[in-house]
Chains A and B, each alone.
Chain A
């Protein structure tokens, strides 16, 4: 909003036109603007707008790539409503998202507080950020090896501790928590840096006043740190939720939906329906549902963030 005012203030459209200080809208720069925006516009139209519309259209059709899409109305959606595999994928993904929220937010918050407390060096932040820069595929394979049932180092330690080996990827109850832990490992440092940036923005005098008033550390944390961090925490939460709803890579290279249906997450199910079973209409319909879920999350974010946005400026 503030940026809008900034624009209208300056930048005379043409050299001979006396700069309209009040901000009269003119078509002045339209031609040159079209030139500047043309390449981005091509990408925007052909790879974002058209596919979005086409994706919604496909969801109402039956289409197996070879022929033409055939309009079948709501049939895909009614079939999805009765599809146990879809509901399973929703449940599995929900479990994954929930675990990520809890693990990631808790660990990242703790880490951010630690960094804020004892070490602010770039080197330490860099070390914590390292996993985030690796691809999902790399993170997945690295842990696939370390958590191997037979000779993985983690199971080696578990055995030394006197416990019995865990089939991290091979058992139905462990598969999703394992995927969630891999994702948490990859994102923990990144999320901690976001929260850390939020902590840095809280002015020190707020803490000093609290101290003078005799607030205990726990009180300070609950009554000052958390409320002032709220915008950052909400942002982190939304990024985590939207990101983890779209889990695919780690599943695709390790468990591929299994064992049984334990890790058949939504995006993997879409992939299977569309590309393995050539059922593009059905896959698109599930994608529409995923889109709606994410839009709902984003909408809730807007509502949450609205009041806080002004704090940052």
Chain B
């Protein structure tokens, strides 16, 4: 649909002329439609989360909350008594998103900090140091990007199980914390394009690689490292499969897994929609905040990270 219509106004450079142009208006209309499809569902989630289940059924298409209440959010955070929860259409089972929120933050922060730091060290070795086999080793590292996560997930699960680390935070973070191939690739690329002059001057002054790395390279690369950390954090936040395998118990369960559990707890007849949407919103909120704060960084990184 959109493609055929969008083909018409193609020859791009029609600058300066500003009188009403039906083609431009049509293009704008389609663009607004696309934005609405991308953004409106989130408002719908918010509206649902602020409604009661009973009212949702009879009032399923008004934009405003049906019987405004914070009950669903309280239910999600375990602040509602089981009786109240059942009365509002919840399952009454104990659910504590504070715990999952904490676990998600711990899991994403540790893996991001570790992966970004260790990957930047490796990227420095690949970009600046000279040693035999460097390019071969780098190719091998890059090659791991081709291995589908499911393929390594099974043996990694067995390894974590053999180490007796199932349902521990350590077991959850181990496969991610040492590096990600993408982070190494991303930072190596940046280091290669960075000017060497300062580093070479420092080298002549007798500075060693460790000092150069910490005092010159890392500070100079602060911007791309921040971008990478942001992207890595969001990726880890959204991770589902591995935490599902390794962290199924409550005390290490992350939000994404908790959401799945919450959904399956809903009594089959009448799901706790407002509770589920409140939980969904809680899970999305940290990413939404990061996006509001650093949106420009994220958007501008897309051209690059697309190589992933």
Chain A contact residues, CB within 8 Å of chain B: 3-4, 6-8, 10-13, 15, 25-30, 32-33, 35-37, 39-44, 46-52, 54-55, 58, 65, 106-107, 109-111, 113-119, 122, 124-131, 133-138, 141-146, 148, 150-153, 156-157, 185, 188-190, 193-194, 197, 204, 207-208, 210-211, 217-218, 220-221, 225, 235-236, 239, 242, 245-246, 248-249, 252-253, 267, 270-271, 274-275, 280, 283-284, 287-288, 290-291, 294-295, 298
In the bound assembly, the distance between CA atoms of A150 and B58 in angstroms comes to 10
Interface: B20 (CB within 8 A):
no
In the assembled complex, the CB of B207 is this many whole angstroms from the nearest CB of chain A, namely: 9
Given the known interface contacts A253-B260, A284-B154, the answer about A116 and B130 at a Cβ–Cβ threshold of 8 Å is no
Given the known interface contacts A125-B299, A136-B238, A290-B148, the answer about A36 and B121 at a Cβ–Cβ threshold of 8 Å is yes
Is the CB–CB distance between B148 and A119 below 8 Å? no
- Using Cβ atoms and an 8 Å threshold, which residues of chain A touch B181? 48
Interface: B184 (CB within 8 A):
yes
Closest 5 CB pairs of A and B: A43-B178, A135-B238, A51-B155, A40-B122, A197-B303
Interface: B118 (CB within 8 A):
yes
Is the CB–CB distance between A138 and B284 below 8 Å? yes
Is the CB–CB distance between B291 and A133 below 8 Å? yes
Chain B contributes a number of interface residues (CB within 8 A of A) equal to 111
Given the known interface contacts A37-B125, A287-B154, the answer about A134 and B287 at a Cβ–Cβ threshold of 8 Å is yes
Is the CB–CB distance between A107 and B144 below 8 Å? no
Contact with A along B127-143 (1 / 0, CB 8 A): 11111101101001100
Is the CB–CB distance between B130 and A28 below 8 Å? yes
Closest to B126 in A: A37
In the assembled complex, the CB of B64 is this many whole angstroms from the nearest CB of chain A, namely: 13
Is the CB–CB distance between A130 and B39 below 8 Å? yes
Contact with A along B10-44 (1 / 0, CB 8 A): 11110000000000100110110011011101101
- Using Cβ atoms and an 8 Å threshold, which residues of chain B touch A153? 44, 60-61
In the assembled complex, the CB of A150 is this many whole angstroms from the nearest CB of chain B, namely: 8
Is the CB–CB distance between B13 and A47 below 8 Å? no
Interface: B268 (CB within 8 A):
no
Closest to A204 in B: B13
Interface: B112 (CB within 8 A):
no
In the bound assembly, the distance between CA atoms of A270 and B263 in angstroms comes to 22
Is the CB–CB distance between B6 and A110 below 8 Å? yes
Given the known interface contacts A267-B150, A291-B148, the answer about A193 and B299 at a Cβ–Cβ threshold of 8 Å is yes
- Using Cβ atoms and an 8 Å threshold, which residues of chain B touch A109? 3
Is the CB–CB distance between A208 and B13 below 8 Å? yes
In the assembled complex, the CB of A221 is this many whole angstroms from the nearest CB of chain B, namely: 5
Stretch at the interface among B73-81, B220-228, B239-247: B239-247
In the assembled complex, the CB of B134 is this many whole angstroms from the nearest CB of chain A, namely: 7
Contact for A145 among B147, B184, B277, CB less than 8 A: B277
A to B CB contacts below 8 Å, 29 in the list: A4-B135, A15-B206, A37-B137, A39-B122, A44-B141, A48-B144, A48-B147, A51-B152, A51-B155, A52-B152, A58-B155, A110-B30, A111-B2, A116-B12, A129-B299, A141-B277, A141-B280, A143-B41, A145-B273, A151-B57, A157-B61, A189-B34, A193-B299, A252-B244, A253-B260, A253-B263, A270-B150, A274-B154, A287-B151
Is the CB–CB distance between A249 and B241 below 8 Å? yes
In the bound assembly, the distance between CA atoms of A3 and B41 in angstroms comes to 45
In the bound assembly, the distance between CA atoms of A250 and B156 in angstroms comes to 22
In the assembled complex, the CB of B12 is this many whole angstroms from the nearest CB of chain A, namely: 6
- Listed residue (B5, B210, B284) with the most chain A CB atoms within 10 angstroms of its CB: B284
Is the CB–CB distance between B131 and A128 below 8 Å? no
In the bound assembly, the distance between CA atoms of A125 and B303 in angstroms comes to 12
Chain B contact residues, CB within 8 Å of chain A: 2-3, 5-13, 24, 27-28, 30-31, 34-35, 37-39, 41-42, 44-45, 48, 56-57, 60-61, 114, 118-119, 121-122, 124-132, 134-135, 137, 140-141, 144, 146-152, 154-156, 158-159, 161, 174-179, 181, 184, 192, 196, 200, 203-204, 206, 208-210, 213, 234, 237-241, 244-245, 256, 259-260, 263, 273, 276-277, 280, 283-284, 287, 291, 295-296, 298-300, 302-303, 306-308
Contact for A36 among B57, B140, B147, B209, CB less than 8 A: B209
Is the CB–CB distance between B302 and A110 below 8 Å? no
Contact for B241 among A65, A211, A248, A283, CB less than 8 A: A248
Q: A40-B119, A137-B238, A221-B10 are in contact. List 17 more A-B contacts (CB 8 A).
A: A8-B130, A12-B203, A37-B125, A39-B122, A43-B177, A46-B159, A47-B156, A51-B155, A55-B152, A114-B2, A126-B291, A146-B44, A220-B11, A235-B307, A275-B245, A280-B158, A283-B154
